Amino acid sequence: MGRTDRGAAPEPTVHEADPVSRPEPRGLSRRGLLGLAGAGVAGLGLGVGGDRVAQAAVAAASPSAAVYPFYGAHQAGIVTPAQDRLHFAAFDLAADATRDDLVALLRDWTAASASLAAGAAIGQFGAASGSYDAPPEDTGEAQGLPASGLTLTFGFDPALFETPAGVDRFGLAARRPPLLVDLPHFPGDLLEEGRGGGDLCIQACADDPQVAVHAIRNLSRIAFGRASLRWSQLGFGRTSSTSTSQATPRNLFGFKDGTANIKAEEPAVVDEQVWVPAADGPAWLAGGSYLVARRIRMTIEAWDRTILREQEAVFGRTKGEGAPLSGGTEFTEPDFSLAGRGDTPLIDAAAHVRLAHPAQNGGARMLRRGYNFVDGNDALGRLDAGLFFISFQRSPEQFSRVQLSLARHDALNEYTRHVGSALFAVPPGARRGSHIGAALFA
């Protein structure tokens, strides 16, 4: 048996983003695009213990060959089954950027994103392009890796339409969706400088972090001179399922998260709660959504010293299976009226599952797509860890309504601190030959 090669791993699975889009041609591996790469590694023998070691490597590499088309009626990365890893980035446009620069940037980002999502490199390098005297168009660290289910999702901050000082830099102020205003200050918010704002955002999700990082790096590079990275966040583990085919993952409190999340297999709910309908306006946003991002620091050391009974009371679910404390299994609907001994409700009045439940929030739901993060540790030796919350919804009001209720009463607040916040309007998907946000400039 020869060397394993991530690039030569399983056949890619190509998915249609939605019924309206046309399927992408089968994704080429980046390796396939490079004349220089990939030759001469087959057929090398294994040494002592080789067979057993090889088995491990096959299990370990296990690349994701999923390919999601970039073009479509909606942007990918929303109802797409949540990938395992995240690199999220927000950008400021250059002070001297013009409306034409902005359109050109979106056009360039669109073309590059379509290549990246297909598992291809940006451009070519080396002998194939004859460009030894130019910097390689692609930075190269994802050569040989499959598409890994990469999606790139673009959003527009309120500041793109009008700066906080009221400056209409790009002639877009009149086209700002009335709902696209900075989120309100919620009780307990402790927002930190450099963890919000920007003009544009890109959410890169993939099953291989190197693929997500490669995408953000190369899109940043394409923006050079026109827009620069303002803040960014890596997430190592998804905390929500967006498909019934996925097992519910766990957050860093050790609890299953997102059991009641909106799933791609509920198209009526997705239409009702996630996509902006034409009737809501503005027209350029029809088929788009609103993205809320919140960096939620967890004080996990305090949490870890809390007794199990209290942890479960705080969530209103069991820690093992994730079943509501009113009984049943993970997917049993919670019964908030059920009382135990002394007429105390089995699910506490301040329990997270109660306060976040649509029944307590006028039916408001969100499609959650957050990620666990650990960004080193602070000077006291505490892990800088938590949840990078991401949700998509038809209106920011869905988030605000639930968050206001949580911020006031949620028992979980004792163990969390919201330190970053951002809101973006997510335009609909781009059609082939066009670009992200085209209708905004039409």
Looking at residues 33 to 72 of the shown chain, list those that interact with a second copy (rule: CB under 8 A). 34-41, 44-50, 52-66
Binding mask 72-91 for a second copy (x = CB under 8 A): ---------x-xxx-x----
**Residues 310-369 within binding reach of a second copy (CB under 8 A):** 311-312, 318-321, 329-331
Cα separation, 176 vs 427, in Å, equals: 12
Is the CB of 176 or the CB of 368 nearer to a second copy?
A: 368
List 142, 152, 285, 407, residue binding a second copy (CB under 8 A): 142
Is the CB of 52 or the CB of 442 nearer to a second copy?
A: 52
CA 409 to chain centre: 27
**Residues 110-139 within binding reach of a second copy (CB under 8 A):** 125-126, 131-136, 138-139
Cα separation, 391 vs 258, in Å, equals: 11
Q: Which residues contact 166 (CB under 8 A, 6 or more apart)?
A: none
**Residues 7-36 within binding reach of a second copy (CB under 8 A):** 7, 10, 13, 15-16, 34-36
List 4, 98, 299, 434, residue binding a second copy (CB under 8 A): 4
- Tokens standing for residue 175: 């086209």
Least spacing, CB of residue 422 vs a second copy, in Å: 15
Per-residue b or e along 313-331, where b marks 16 or more CB atoms closer than 10 Å to that residue's CB: bbbbbbeeebbbbbeeebe
Least spacing, CB of residue 187 vs a second copy, in Å: 27
Region binding a second copy by CB under 8 A among candidate stretches 6-14, 151-159, 353-361, 395-403: 6-14
Binding mask 368-407 for a second copy (x = CB under 8 A): ----x-xxxx-xxxxx-x----------------------
Is the CB of 134 or the CB of 359 nearer to a second copy?
A: 134
Region binding a second copy by CB under 8 A among candidate stretches 106-114, 252-260, 347-355, 431-439: 252-260
**Residue 143 binds a second copy (CB under 8 A):** yes
Cα separation, 276 vs 281, in Å, equals: 8
- Per DSSP, the residues of 261-288 read ---TT-HHHHHHHTSPPTTTS-GGGTT-
Is the CB of 146 or the CB of 437 nearer to a second copy?
A: 146
Least spacing, CB of residue 396 vs a second copy, in Å: 26
Is the CB of 173 or the CB of 385 nearer to a second copy?
A: 385
Contacts with a second copy by CB under 8 A: the residue count is 123
Cβ neighbours around 138 below 10 Å, total = 24
Would you say 147 and 31 are in contact if contact means Cβ atoms under 8 Å apart? no
Least spacing, CB of residue 90 vs a second copy, in Å: 10
Is the CB of 6 or the CB of 176 nearer to a second copy?
A: 6
- Tokens standing for residue 2: 């020869």
Binding mask 266-305 for a second copy (x = CB under 8 A): xx--------------------------------xx--xx
**Residues 212-241 within binding reach of a second copy (CB under 8 A):** 213, 217, 220-221, 228-234, 236-237
Would you say 244 and 318 are in contact if contact means Cβ atoms under 8 Å apart? no
Angle at 247 between CA 326 and CA 324, to 5 degrees: 5
Q: Which residues contact 349 (CB under 8 A, 6 or more apart)?
A: 409
- Tokens standing for residue 244: 């019934």
Is the CB of 194 or the CB of 277 nearer to a second copy?
A: 194
State the greatest distance between any 2 C-alpha atoms of the chain, in Å, as a whole number: 80
How many helices and strands, by DSSP H and E, does the chain display? 11, 12
Q: Which helix (H) or strand (E) holds 409?
A: helix 396-409
Cα separation, 312 vs 330, in Å, equals: 13
- β-pairing, 66-67 with 13-14? parallel
